[in-house]
């Protein structure tokens, strides 16, 4: 009997040791720069009317913080363009940008990296990426009912309710006790990072440091109608489908059409909470949507005609005139580069691939501004034409 007991104890001890070794080996080999996160489906949101285009519940991706970052939070609103008409939105509802049924794992990297040497200010924060499945920058609260009574073609435009429902769950998850918090958004998610910045601030303790970050989502209203024509069509469709006249701030819609209120320049003055804009003066989505897909390589290679180059200079001028002025960098910081690229939070945040202006790397400029170390307002004034989009692939040793 004693022999059996000792043998059993030996087996238990061996299994425990193997388990510990396995866990330690897994942690040791995990790449902290990029790792996969599963979606969290917010089933409770459905009863609140917060659903994706196809009526499925919204979702977010969450990686818990640790160490002295356990009470700090990044909430990152995803981007992914817009749908402008019913057919476009029905097509979108069949994929991950319109249905949580189609969502899989998401690779966290960049500002979500857990590498303290490449992302020293945010590596151990709670990290959230809110899935984008409403097609309208989280602004809508309307629906489309198919006239032929084919329910599979019905559409729900509930981005505003998605934002509120996900935020409510995150607050209960610990965000309500945050010491430091950041609402960020990239591309189509950049506009709502301004739109909801004050609401986000007001949802958190008064003594918390709360700021917002717009990553390549400050698309401007060009003065030249030839440059503006595709944006007017795009935003006109989004505003109509999403019911923007009802959901966007009356401080803006009482003065202009709802589609004009989709330009960040027309709402940013009403935002009291500090925000930081990181974007290229030659954002390649801005140039693509404005000048046409076929011009991408020509612009990237610097082979534009005199007419094309004049348009690029005009676009840069309008952009720089539309962004917040530099007289109050504490409340409106910027990092405006000249590379022909789009978004940086996920791809260009590590020091080895980050862009710089005046010998200051973008992630350092932002962190200085966020933590009140130095209020940065940096614009590349040297390059008045696009710099080729070179992206250095980095092989990390871990």
- Residue 391 is predicted with a pLDDT of 63
- Residue 149 is predicted with a pLDDT of 87
Cα–Cα distances (Å) from 367 to 102, 298, 334, 363, 364, in that order, read 35, 34, 12, 6, 5
Q: What is the pTM of this model?
A: 0.91
- Residue 152 is predicted with a pLDDT of 87
Distance CA(108)–CA(301), nearest Å, equals 30
Could you list the active site residues?
187, 283, 342
Cα–Cα distances (Å) from 184 to 267, 311, 385, in that order, read 17, 30, 28
Q: Note whether 332 and 375 are within 8 A (CB).
A: no
Q: Note whether 60 and 128 are within 8 A (CB).
A: yes
Cα–Cα distances (Å) from 130 to 2, 25, 43, 184, in that order, read 57, 31, 14, 10
Query: Is the Cα torsion angle 107, 277, 137, 178 positive or negative in sign?
Result: positive
| DSSP one-letter code for 329 | T
- Residue 220 is predicted with a pLDDT of 97
- Residue 90 is predicted with a pLDDT of 97
Residues of the chain with pLDDT under 70: 1-30, 391-398
- Residue 30 is predicted with a pLDDT of 62
- Residue 31 is predicted with a pLDDT of 83
């Amino acid at each position: 009997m004693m022999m059996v007991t000792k043998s059993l104890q030996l087996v238990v001890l061996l299994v425990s040791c193997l388990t510990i070794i396995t866990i330690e080996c897994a942690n040791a080999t995990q790449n902290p720069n990029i790792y996969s996160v599963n979606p969290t489906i917010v089933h409770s949101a459905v009863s609140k009317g917060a659903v994706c285009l196809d009526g499925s519940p919204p979702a977010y991706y969450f990686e818990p913080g640790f160490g002295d970052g356990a009470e700090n939070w990044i909430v990152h609103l995803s981007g992914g363009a817009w749908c402008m008409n019913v057919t476009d939105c029905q097509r979108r509802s069949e994929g991950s940008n319109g249905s949580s049924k189609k969502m899989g794992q998401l690779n966290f990297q960049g500002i979500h990296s857990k590498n303290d040497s490449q992302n020293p200010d945010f590596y151990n924060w709670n990290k959230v990426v809110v899935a984008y499945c409403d097609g309208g920058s989280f602004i809508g609260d309307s629906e489309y009912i198919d006239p032929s009574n084919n329910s599979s073609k019905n559409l729900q435009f509930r981005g505003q309710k998605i934002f509120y429902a996900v935020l409510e769950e995150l607050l209960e998850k610990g965000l309500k006790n945050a010491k430091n918090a950041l609402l960020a958004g990239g591309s189509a998610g950049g506009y709502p990072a301004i739109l909801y910045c004050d609401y986000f601030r007001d949802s958190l303790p008064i003594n918390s440091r709360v700021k917002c970050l717009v990553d390549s989502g400050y698309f401007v209203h060009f003065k030249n109608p030839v440059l503006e024509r595709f944006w007017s069509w795009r935003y006109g469709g989004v505003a109509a489908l999403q019911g923007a006249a009802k959901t966007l701030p009356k401080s803006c819609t009482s003065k202009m059409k709802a589609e004009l209120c989709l330009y960040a320049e027309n709402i940013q003055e009403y935002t009291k909470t500090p925000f930081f804009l990181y974007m290229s003066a030659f954002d390649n989505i801005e140039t693509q949507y404005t000048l046409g897909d076929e011009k991408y390589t020509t612009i990237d290679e610097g082979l534009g005609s005199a007419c094309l180059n004049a348009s690029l200079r005009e676009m840069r001028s309008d952009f720089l005139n539309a962004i917040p002025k530099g007289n109050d960098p504490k409340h409106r910081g910027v990092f405006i580069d000249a590379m022909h690229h789009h978004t940086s939070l996920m791809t260009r945040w590590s020091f080895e691939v980050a862009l710089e202006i005046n010998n200051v790397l973008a992630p350092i400029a932002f962190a200085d501004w966020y933590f009140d170390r130095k209020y940065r307002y940096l614009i590349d004034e040297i390059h008045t034409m696009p710099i080729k989009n070179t992206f250095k692939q980095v092989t990390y040793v871990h």
